[in-house]
Structures are given as C-alpha cells and as structure tokens.
C-alpha cells in the first residue's frame, strides 16, 4: 500500500470519528429531549387522572354520606311509625279490656240481657 492511500484512509477515519464525536452527543441530546417530552406527557396524564380520581372519590364519599343520611331518616320514620302502631295496639287492648269489663258488669247486673241490649224474652218475641 502506498503512503498517500494510508494517509487518506487515516484522514477519512479521523473525519468519521470527528463527525461521530459531534453528531453522537446531538443525537443523544435529541433522544433525551424526546424522553423528557414523553415523561412530561405521562406526568400531565398522571395529574389529570389523579385529579379525576380525587373528584370521583369525593363524589362517591358524598353519595355514601347522603345514602346513610337517607337511610337514617327512613329508619327513624319506620321507628316512629312502629311506636305509633304500638300505641294504637295498646289503646285497642285497653279499650277491649274496658269493653269486657262493661260487658261483665252488665251480665252481673242483668244476666237475662243479650249482648245487643235486649231482654232474652224480647229477642224470642221478634222471631
């Protein structure tokens, strides 16, 4: 091989190395910038999703609280209705007992009377 060819090859190799030395960092910087841009996109998406999740969480908590309040109100109304019904049952029981006492007293006073207030003889005559 002759010397000019060797020198040409060496010069070309040095030029290629210089070009690579200049281009490689630029390519690396560009690749890093692309990665950073992708990372920023992921961060934005992450923040949006986190905000949406927080809003949904707050709405769900409010819905649960509202449902619990409504349930408590329904239970209170049911308990009130049950108390009122029990009072009516107690009143009916007292009135039934009082009616029985009056009936028993009427039987003691006039054993020959029918439950509708007529004498047994009157009831037979009407037939």
114 in Cβ contact with 123 (< 8 Å):
yes
Q: What is the mean pLDDT of the chain?
A: 91
Half-sphere exposure of 1 (CA within 13 A, CB side): 7
If pLDDT is split at 50, 70 and 90, which confidence band does 116 have?
confident
- pLDDT tens digits, one per residue of 81-94: 999 999 999 999 99
pTM assigned to the model:
0.52
DSSP state of 16: H
- pLDDT tens digits, one per residue of 36-78: 999 999 999 999 999 999 999 999 999 999 999 999 999 999 9
Please check the confidence at residue 127 and state whether its pLDDT lies above 60.
no
Helix (H) / strand (E) element for 92: namely helix 3-109
- Token pair in block for residue 66: 């509202």
* CA quadruple 63, 64, 69, 70: dihedral sign: positive
């Amino acid at each position: 091989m002759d010397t000019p060819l060797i020198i040409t090859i060496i010069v070309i190799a040095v030029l290629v190395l210089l070009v690579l030395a200049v281009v490689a960092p630029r390519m690396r910087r560009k690749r890093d910038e692309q990665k950073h841009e992708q990372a920023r996109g992921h961060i934005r998406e992450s923040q949006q999703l986190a905000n949406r999740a927080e809003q949904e969480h707050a709405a769900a908590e409010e819905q649960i609280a509202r449902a619990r309040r409504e349930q408590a109100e329904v239970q209170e109304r049911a308990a009130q209705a049950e108390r009122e019904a029990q009072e009516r049952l107690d009143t009916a029981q007292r009135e039934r007992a009082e009616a029985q006492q009056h009936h028993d007293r009427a039987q003691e006073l006039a054993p020959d009377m029918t439950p509708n207030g007529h004498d047994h003889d009157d009831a037979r005559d009407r037939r």
